[in-house]
Structures are given as C-alpha cells and as structure tokens.
Structure 1
Amino acid sequence: MIDFFVKGGALMWPILFCSVGALALIIMKGFQLRAVMRHLSPDLDVLLEVRPAEIKPIIEGIEKGLEERQVAFIGTRQVRRLEKGLGILSLISVIAPLLGFTGTVTGMIQAFMVIAAHTGTRVEPSMVAGGIYEALITTAAGLFVAIPSHVALHFLEDRLDEIAMRMREVAMAVFERKLHGI
C-alpha cells in the first residue's frame, strides 16, 4: 500500500489530505444529523416539553409572537448551522478527481520526457512505465476519494432536508396551537 502511494507521486499527498478530511466530515456530520433527527420527536407535546436546541429558537420565537417570516428566518439560520461542513465536503468531491487528473498529466509528461530524451534510440516500455503508472494511480486515487464523498454528500443533504421539513412541520403545528389558543 505504501509502495502504491509512493509510486503515485507528490499529488498523492493532497489526495490523501482530501480523503482524511472527507472521512472526518462524513463521520462528524453523520453523527450530528442522526442526533438531531432523534431529538425531533414526532410527538409535538414531547418536543414542546424537551425543546431540543435545534428547534428551541423557533418555538420561543412563535411564543414571543414573532411573525411567520421572522420565525422562517430563525429556522433558516438553524438549518444553515447544520449545513456547515457540507460545502467543504462538496469541494473535496470536486477537487479530488481534479488532483488525480493533474497526476495523470504529470505522469504522462514524465513518460514523454523519457521518450524525448531517447530520440533516435529504442525506447523500452519499462522506461515510460513509471510515468504511466503514476498517471493511473493518481487518477484512481482521486476517483476513490471523490465518488464516496459525493455519495455521502447527497445522503447528508437528504438528511438535512428531512430535518428542515420536520422543523417546518413543528413550527406550523406550534403556530396552529397558538392561533387556536391550545
């Protein structure tokens, strides 16, 4: 495995950095969003009693008599807090294959430099294999980071959409209760 990494060249380091960053973000955001989903109980009475941190400002805003657009702004701010980190994960899913393709270019440049240095003589395949090997390794490594990162990003965004929808449902239910004096 280390040999594979070394033969990939210098661009393997930023790809490794992207891999570690993506994994950390995926784990962190996965646990965070899972905990939030658990806190947003389907039972409105439980939510009003417990008041989880993610929904508390919305409930308090409604109870203070804020207008619907003001409460919507509070809800948007709460969702934006939960979104933090997803932009970086999106960036990693785009940058990783670009780093891999840059490694492809540098590897092919190395291969062609060997060919150019041996003009007029026979070039053995083993002479250019190192550059081609680097090209293929970095391409594969970039894709191995990008594809799971992108899939995880979509999964996390779907979870966040579910949370935002649940927050809207709770806000509407609290507005209805307040309107009817319940």
Structure 2
Amino acid sequence: MMDLFVKGGPLMWPILLCSILAMAIALKKAWEFWSIWKAVSDDVETVWAKRLSYLEPIRLAIESGRNEKEIGIVGTRQIREMEKGLGVLSLIAVISPLLGLTGTVTGMIEAFQVIAVSQTQVNPGMLAGGIWEALITTAAGLFVAIPTHIAGHFLEERLDQITLIVREAASSAYYRRQHGI
C-alpha cells in the first residue's frame, strides 16, 4: 500500500489530506446531526421542553416577543451554524478527483519525457509502466471523492429533516405565544 502511495507521486499528499479532513468532518457532522435528530424527533412540546442549546436562541426570540421575521432570521442563523463543514465536504468531493487527474497528467508527462530521452527503441513495457503509475493518483482521488460525496449527500438530507422539524417547532411555539395558548 505504501509502495502505491509513493509511486502515485507528490499529489498523493494533498489527496491523503483531503481524505483525512473529509473523514473527520463527516464523522463529526454525523455525530452532531444524530444527536440533534435524536433530540428533535419527539413531539413539538418535548423539543422545546428540553431547552437544547442550538434551539435556545430561537426559543429566546419567541419568548421575548420578537416578530415572525426576526425569529426567522435567528432560526436561519442557527441552521447556518449547523451547516458549517458541509461546504468543505462538497469542495473535497470536487477537488480530490481533480488532484488525482493532475497527478495523472504530470505522471504521463514524466513517462513520455523518459521515452523521449531514451536512446533505445521504445517498448510497450516502458510505456505501460509509466502509465499505470500515473493512474494511481486518479484512482486515489476517486476513492476519496465518491464516499465524501455520498457522506455529504446523506448529511445534507439529515440537516434538511432537522431544519423542517425545527421550523415546525418554532412556528408552533410562535403561534402558541401569539394566541396565549
């Protein structure tokens, strides 16, 4: 495995960094969203009674008598806070294969330079050896991008579900507050 990493060339390092970063973000967000989902999947009354830290600014805005637009702004800020990191996952899913492709192109250039300066007749083994080594970075970039893209998709779906529940809970609490219920 280490041999393949070394043969992949210098662009394997940023691909590895992307892999580590994507895994760390995906695991952190999965844990965060799982714990939020577990907390908000109850009925509306229970959600507000728990006094969850990420819902506290919304609850305080409702209880202080702010209007619907102001509460919406507070809610949007809280959702934006929860979104942090998902953009980085999308970026990694896009740049990883591009890094891999760049490594492949530079590897192919090197392979053809070796052939160009060779004083002997070119044989298929010389060409194939350089090409397969050059393709390692493309494979590595795809191995990072595909699971990162899938993780990002599932995390965004979970955040959409959480957002819907939070909005419903906030609307219900606002309505009850406005009507003295």
TM-score range, shorter chain: over 0.9
- Deviation at 1:100? 0.4
Note the 1:23-172 alignment, pairs <5 A. 23-118=23-118, 121-172=120-171
Counterpart Cα distance in 1 of 2:104 and 2:129:
12
Q: Please identify, of 46-55 and 148-157, the stretch whose mean Cα deviation from structure 2 is larger.
A: 46-55
Instruction: Tell me the CA shift for residue 45 of structure 1.
Output: 2.3
Structure 1: where are the runs of 5+ without partners?
Answer: none
Q: Aligned partners of 2:81, 2:94: CA distance in 1, in Å?
A: 23
Deviation at 1:146, TM superposition (A): 0.4
Alignment check: 8 A CA contact 1:111 1:129 kept: no
Matched length: 181
Question: 1:52 aligns to what SS in structure 2?
Answer: coil
2:180 partner amino acid: G
Structure-2 separation of matches of 1:134 and 1:94: 22
Whichever residue aligns with residue 48 of structure 2, its letter is: L
Structural RMSD (CA): 1.3
Paired amino acid for 2:13: W
The alignment's TM-score, normalised by the length of structure 2, stands at 0.95
Match of 2:10? 10
Give runs of ≥4 in structure 1 deviating > 6 Å: none
Tell me, in whole angstroms, the C-alpha distance in 2 between the residues paired with 1:174 and 1:45: 8
Q: Deviations over 1:5-56 (max 9, x none)?
A: 1111111111111111111111001000111111214222222221111212
| TM-score normalised by L of structure 1 | 0.94
Distance 1:156 1:48 in 2: 24
For residues 143-172 of structure 1, give each alpha carbon's deviation from its aligned partner in whole angstroms, at most 9, with x where no partner exists.
010011011111111111111111100011
Deviation for aligned residue 1:176:
1.8
Structure 2 contact 41–165 (Cα < 8 Å) conserved: no
Separation of aligned partners in 1, 2:25 and 2:180? 43
Give the percent of matched residue pairs that are identical in Structure 1 and Structure 2: 55
SS at match of 1:6: helix
